[in-house]
Amino acid sequence: MRIRIIVCWLLLFSLEATAFDLKADGGKRWYKGNIHTHTLWSDGDAAPEVSVAWYCDHGYNFLGLSDHNILSDGSMVKPFPVTENGRLTPERVEQIKERFGDQWVNLAVQDGTQYMRLKTLPEIKEHFERPGEFLLIQAEEITSIFPAVHVNALNIQRVIPPINNVSPEAALHSAVETLEKQSMELSIPMLTSLNHPNFSSGVPVEALLDVPKLQFFEVYNGHPSVDNWGNEAKGFHPTDRIWDIVLSMRQRRGDGRILYGVGTDDTHDYFKRAIGESNSGRGWIQVLSDSLTPESIIAAMKEGSFYASTGVTLESISFDGMKMTVGIEAEEGVAYTTKFFGTRKDFDPTSEPKIGEDGKPVAGASKIYSDKIGETLLETTENPAVYQLNGDELYVRAKIISSKEQENPFKAGDLETAWTQPAIPGR
């Protein structure tokens, strides 16, 4: 019995990746989506229809409304004008009426206060969804306060409460396992993604290593407080480095899933667009799929048939076992640099704790790992960008950086970028 379980486990993981050829043809196309968004159902400042309208109007094909510890279901009313932080105002209610009509808005007065009833996901779906063009996928951001572990549960059907006052790895493990159980019970595909590992007290890279089933994390999140590019004082690695450490250690141990990187907005602020606000349109994924359904999008993501972007569009990504090729949809007058990252089999897997000025390990910090993890194997300005493996790489992935600054970045000076998923040789 034990042998059978081990064989199944190995089969499960060894089926995950090998050669691939991602490009739009034969009925497959790229679908653009954002899976991390907030509305008035939790701490976003817009009604759900205002949020969804933005994405619908800006060429997105799918969207996950992922409010904190809640599904957009049941009855929820918001008072105005006296509401939390002025998030719902009479002007904003008028704007909703202008776009959707007077009949759309459900208002009530109780004890002299006006209320607006929030639209549920089924109501929002009925209004916005178009087959093959626009899809809403139910989601929840399972949000532990302490530790600050936030996990996106995509295509969730029943709310999952967070657990608090445990270790980061325990909170992460609980969210991943609970959603997987729900998915199996209902026979509905779902996925979990670790959101913004560098937010607040952070999620150390060792927590990701302790949860080998975790298959997705945010390499990019558009919220201003998430330290995508690391935080030296707190001992938080840049998200690219987190990714490389996890890929290297899991490949070396052979004990985990391939970690895929997503880009998201984590939108909270819909009315003021500026650096420092948590705006729409900063980070997304492009998923290559033969159809636009929650099942097909999630299946494609679990195969790694997608890339993350903050502005760069890719035509194709292919891997034949020994060569990785990235075709960029180049914009006129914009230059592109592609960096191929990877770790060689003989890397030093040891790590050291980060020591603070007081001579003690920094609480919550990730450990420090070898520079040989996530080496730049090749940097090129060619298009297509091609990396020929020499056979000792554990994985290869590409980051494509344009010369164009993002229009409304999470951090000033950020350049439009895309991240491919890792390719694993010899599988």
In the complex, minimum distance from the CB of residue 242 to Zn ion, in angstroms, rounded to a whole number: 16
Nearer to Zn ion, 45 or 266 (CB): 266
Q: Nearest to residue 304, comparing CAs of 229, 226, 243, 375?
A: 243
In the complex, minimum distance from the CB of residue 304 to Zn ion, in angstroms, rounded to a whole number: 24
Instruction: Sketch the per residue contact string, 27 through 46, with Zn ion: x for CB under 5 A, - otherwise.
Output: --------------------
What residues are paired with 194 via a beta bridge?
151, 217
**Is 150 among the residues that bind Zn ion (CB under 5 A)?**
yes
Of 169-177, 189-197, 353-361, 365-373, the segment contacting Zn ion by CB under 5 A is 189-197
Q: Which residue is nearest to Zn ion (CB)?
A: 150
**DSSP class of 390:** -
**Is 266 among the residues that bind Zn ion (CB under 5 A)?**
yes
**Is 265 among the residues that bind Zn ion (CB under 5 A)?**
no
Query: Residue 398 and residue 375: Cα distance in Å, rounded?
Result: 11
Tokens 């004990």 correspond to what residue?
255
Of 14-22, 50-58, 260-268, 359-367, the segment contacting Zn ion by CB under 5 A is 260-268
In the complex, minimum distance from the CB of residue 200 to Zn ion, in angstroms, rounded to a whole number: 9
Nearer to Zn ion, 106 or 225 (CB): 225
Mention every residue, 6+ apart, whose C-beta is less than 8 A from residue 25: none
Looking at residue 197, its amino acid is P
Nearer to Zn ion, 199 or 341 (CB): 199
Query: Residue 142 and residue 172: Cα distance in Å, rounded?
Result: 10
**Contact criterion met (CB below 8 Å) for 78 and 92:** no
Looking at residue 152, its amino acid is N
In the complex, minimum distance from the CB of residue 123 to Zn ion, in angstroms, rounded to a whole number: 22
Nearer to Zn ion, 174 or 195 (CB): 195
**Contact criterion met (CB below 8 Å) for 132 and 291:** yes
**Residues of this chain, 127-146, that bind Zn ion according to CB under 5 A:** 141
Of 53-61, 266-274, 332-340, 386-394, the segment contacting Zn ion by CB under 5 A is 266-274
Of 118-126, 264-272, 336-344, 389-397, the segment contacting Zn ion by CB under 5 A is 264-272
Size of the site for Zn ion (CB under 5 A): 4
Tokens 């202008």 correspond to what residue?
98
339: its two tokens: 């960096």
In the complex, minimum distance from the CB of residue 221 to Zn ion, in angstroms, rounded to a whole number: 8
- DSSP letters, 294-349, are HHHHHHHHHTT-EEEESS--EEEEEE-SSEEEEEE-PPTT--EEEEEEEEETT---
Q: To the nearest 10°, report the CA torsion of 255, 256, 258, 259.
A: -130
In the complex, minimum distance from the CB of residue 44 to Zn ion, in angstroms, rounded to a whole number: 9
**Is 416 among the residues that bind Zn ion (CB under 5 A)?**
no
Query: Residue 223 and residue 285: Cα distance in Å, rounded?
Result: 16
**Contact criterion met (CB below 8 Å) for 142 and 160:** yes
Nearer to Zn ion, 162 or 374 (CB): 162
Of 41-49, 263-271, 287-295, 411-419, the segment contacting Zn ion by CB under 5 A is 263-271
Mention every residue, 6+ apart, whose C-beta is less than 8 A from residue 389: 322, 323, 324, 396, 425
Of 50-58, 148-156, 353-361, 418-426, the segment contacting Zn ion by CB under 5 A is 148-156
Nearer to Zn ion, 135 or 148 (CB): 148
Residues within the interface to Zn ion (CB under 5 A): 141, 150, 195, 266
